[in-house]
Amino acid sequence: MRTSTLAGLMALAASSTTAQFVNTTAPFALLVLSQNETYNGTTISPCHEGAAIEGLCIGTKLGSPPPAFVQTYTQNYSASATVDPTIGVVGYLIFDLPVSGLNESSPMSFAYNPSSNVAVPLFEPSESGQEVAFHEDQLFIPSFTNDQVTPPTFEENVFDRWYICNTNVGYNYITVAWALGDAAPQNPSCVKASIRRVFV
């Protein structure tokens, strides 16, 4: 039992250190879908939260006529990726931060506040970030552990716990946010949303 747990851990460590997301998708815009008409159909636009740190702010609506400029993103995924039927394609959500004529690959990761159940996604130059999954062009967060049973079990799943909220991880903005766990976000401004990609 102990040996198999150790072997499992070592296999997991080996797979996570070799999980490099070096292939890149074509660029796509990110769109908010929501029952709330204020946010439904708006694009997601990077906004300054700190030095080389961008939030995922609400941009213009992708209506007609379409806006002159729509920010695009890519997903980096594993060169050996096979499409998992439950999870879709796992990888990083990337914003190319322009820095003096070059791009700094900035994967999305979450900023956590221990006193809140609302995490805020940020783009920041790094070699690693939060694993995300696109399944039929909808953005999910993959999960591999279910801790709602005792003892926790290995369970592949994807979650859509995206919201649009007034957040402050540097500035007050209307941004994409993520509810930790399956409770409603404690931030009263949060409105449920989903995130879709649209290839441009």
Ligand X SMILES: *[C@@H]1O[C@H](CO)[C@@H](O)[C@H](O)[C@H]1NC(C)=O
Chain positions contacting ligand X, by CB under 6 A: 21-24, 27, 33, 35-38, 40-41, 72, 76, 79, 81, 92, 94, 96, 102-103, 105, 107, 127, 189, 191
Q: Are 95 and 73 a contacting pair, CB within 8 Å? A: yes
Q: Are 181 and 117 a contacting pair, CB within 8 Å? A: yes
CA atoms within 13 A on the CB side of 5: 2
Q: Shortest approach of ligand X to residue 11 CB, angstroms?
A: 21
Q: Are 32 and 42 a contacting pair, CB within 8 Å? A: yes
Q: Shortest approach of ligand X to residue 1 CB, angstroms?
A: 36
Amino acid identity, position 90: V
**How far is Cα 195 from Cα 184, in angstroms, rounded to an integer?**
18
Q: Shortest approach of ligand X to residue 150 CB, angstroms?
A: 36
**How far is Cα 108 from Cα 3, in angstroms, rounded to an integer?**
36
Q: Shortest approach of ligand X to residue 5 CB, angstroms?
A: 30
Q: Nearer Cβ to ligand X, position 4 or 172?
A: 172
Q: Nearer Cβ to ligand X, position 95 or 140?
A: 95
Q: Nearer Cβ to ligand X, position 128 or 145?
A: 128
Q: Shortest approach of ligand X to residue 101 CB, angstroms?
A: 6
Amino acid identity, position 186: Q
Q: Shortest approach of ligand X to residue 124 CB, angstroms?
A: 10
What is the DSSP secondary structure assignment for residue 66, as one 8-state letter? Answer: P
Q: Nearer Cβ to ligand X, position 16 or 153?
A: 16
Q: Nearer Cβ to ligand X, position 32 or 158?
A: 32
Q: Nearer Cβ to ligand X, position 18 or 150?
A: 18
3-state secondary structure of 26: coil
Alpha-carbon torsion, ordered 59, 61, 66, 69, to 10 deg: 0
